[in-house]
Structure formats: C-alpha cells, structure tokens
Amino acid sequence: MDDQGHEHKNDSNSESSGGKDDGILYVGIDLGTSRSAISTSNGVRKVVESYVGWPVDMVARKVLKHDIVIGEEALKLRPMLDMHRPLENGLIKEGSEKDAEAVRQLMKHLVVLGGAGGKGDGKKQVRAVVGVPAEALRVNKQQLRGALTGIVDSLMIVTEPFAVAYGLDALLHSLIIDIGAGTADFCVMNGRYPNDEDQRTLNSAGDAIDQILTKSVQEKHPEANFSEHMVREWKEAHSFVGEPPERIVVKAPVRGKPTKIDITDEMRNACESLVAPVAETMIDLIARVEPEYQDRIRNNVILSGGTSLTRGLSDRLQAILKEYGGGRVKVVDDPIFVGSDGGLAIAMDAPDSDWERLSSG
C-alpha cells in the first residue's frame, strides 16, 4: 500500500496522534446518514448508528426506563420508539423540530462518548471538525451550528471526502469518492482546500440501493414478508456488481413460514444502479482538472464509505477508466473511522484563525 496504507492507531497514547497538551479536546466527527463516528485527541474512537428514538407512550417509557434511546439500541427497540433518522439524503431534515433535536442529541451523545463529559467536567474546551456531505455545506451549515451550540466550543465544518483525503494524506492529485447511505460525495484534491467546483454530491448511495432492492423483491415475491432492515442486511451480506459471485438466496417469511427466495438478479440490478451515476461524475470531475494532472488523478481514485464495500465496484470503476487512458481505484482499509480520523487530523493541524467560535447562551 502506498499513500493510504498507513493506519491510525489511535490508542490511549495521545502522542501517537500528534497530541498537543493545551487543555483542549480535539475531535473529528463524521456525521453520517446511517452511522456517525468520532475520533478524539485523547485516543477514543466510537461509532453510533444515526438513529434517535423517544418512547412512544407512557408504557414504552416505563419499559425502557429512558427518555431517549440512541444508536443501535434504538434500532433494536424501534417498536416502542418514535424513531428519527435525522440525516436522510445527507441533510438535516428541514422543518422538523424533532429531527433538529435528534441531530443535537446524537452529537451530544458522540461528544460524551468521546470523553468530553457533561457539565462539571472541569469544562475542557472542545474543538470539533465535523464532516458533512459536500452539498450540505452550502445548504445546511446554519442548522448544524445550531445543533452544536452548547456542545462544542469551536467548530469547523468540512466536507466528508475532504476529511477522508486529509486523514489519508492524499491531498495532491487524488479523487476521493465517499459512498455512504444517503449520498455519494466526490472531491478532487489539488493540494489546497477544495472549492465548490472540486466537489459533488449525488443522492445515489446505499439507501437508494435499498429502495430499488425492496421494490424489485416485492414485485418478484409478493407473498414474502420483509422489512427495510432485513433488505439492508441482505445487501450488506451479498452486494455485488457484475457477474454474480454465487446465487443469492435469503430467507423471508411467507404466511408466517420462513421461506428461501432467490434474489440474485434483484441484488445485481439494485447495486448496478450506482455504477452509471458514479462513473459519470468521476469522469466529469477528472475531465475538469488541468490536462497534465489528469493522469495522476486517474491513478489515485480512492473509494470510502460503507457502500464502497460492494463487491466488484472498484474493479468496475477501474475498468471504466481504461477507456480514458487507464487508472487505479482503491478502497480504503478502514471505512468506518477514516472520516473521523481525518477530521481529527484537521483539528490538530488547524491554526486558531480557522476555527469558528460557537457562543453558548
């Protein structure tokens, strides 16, 4: 492995991440549609499913013994909860106070998990770099600021793929494609802060695949009974593009009886739906770079995000690059923490003047 081969061993020794002992807690947060991760300067790394739920009624509250449930726990307990997945399509859903509050609770939960205790914790200052989809940066900054006020002291909002590039030290002549649940985010790195032209966001990502898969399996097996969560699990276990690596047979109840159904063709079509839009945007972004650098960028395409684990995807994109003079497409080693580690690296390096202070009050 070359430029992306290094790992961030963020163990308890904060020196290993270039620790500064200035009484400030630096954190990198990857705010994701399906899961959110935090990496901190005191060596903590945590990931949480981006779900927030409130008990639906008095009975649920009595059973749950909590006023709010966050993360995987919420997913498990969903029949008892008013569930919110506040970041569908990579944006904080607008017009819903519950969703805004859900983002706030999710961020608070992450920051506390990251080691910045609540009040009475000696009030260690927290400086957070938060990675969001490229387009959210234009639309949604204000909402994010609101959600973080009172939770962190200083904030820097960056795009998710830029955080990934920074963490991998792939800052020059690279193209990062971060394909998550809500969005696919693209960023060309030219050795400086990327601008709007260097970045793109598509809404074709994991959630869109889940929707296509759900619809086509329903059409083929109208008698079978399954939830969106089951569909996502099938996809995560069996996703592929190109030739089927094996027949894909899953179990779903038919009139209460677990029954095997073959979903190979449906899986293929659903996953393939990603290829054309991603390839088109990849080619378009490369074509905009100065001609003398295009070759280097084609040879340094980096895929991150959960959906980049789809079998055959990187090979397919690399095959498409062949028609444009050839290239290399690699998948990152650690898709869960690569974004938050990158955010942390930015936080540690950023001069005071790059930070935005959030006033709590």
Q: Does 45 bind ligand ATP (CB under 6 A)?
A: no
Whole-angstrom CA distances from 109 to 33, 47, 342 are: 16, 11, 20
Q: Which does 214 bind (CB under 5 to 8 A by kind): ligand ATP, Mg ion, none?
A: none
CB of 47 to ligand ATP, least distance (A): 8
Binding residue count for ligand ATP, defined by CB under 6 A:
24
Cβ closer to ligand ATP: 224 or 332?
332
**Coil/strand/helix, residue 297:** helix
CB of 18 to ligand ATP, least distance (A): 25
Q: 88: closest CA among 36, 144, 29, 33?
A: 33
Site string for ligand ATP, 286-325 (x = CB under 6 A): -------------------xxx-xx---------------
Cβ-proximal residue to ligand ATP, closest one: 206
321/215 Cα distance (integer angstroms):
31
Cβ atoms 360, 322 nearer than 8 A: no
The tokens of 120 are what? 């009475």
CB of 99 to ligand ATP, least distance (A): 14
Using only C-alpha atoms, the chain has a radius of gyration, in whole angstroms, of 21
Structure-token match 């079998």, residue found: 311
Q: Does 40 bind ligand ATP (CB under 6 A)?
A: no
Cβ closer to ligand ATP: 32 or 55?
32
Note the residues at the interface with Mg ion (CB under 5 A): 32, 180
DSSP 16: G
- At position 26, the amino acid (one-letter code) is Y
Cβ-proximal residue to Mg ion, closest one: 180
β-bridge mates for residue 27, sequence order: 40, 128
Cβ atoms 332, 261 nearer than 8 A: no
Q: Which does 181 bind (CB under 5 to 8 A by kind): ligand ATP, Mg ion, none?
A: ligand ATP
CB of 60 to ligand ATP, least distance (A): 26
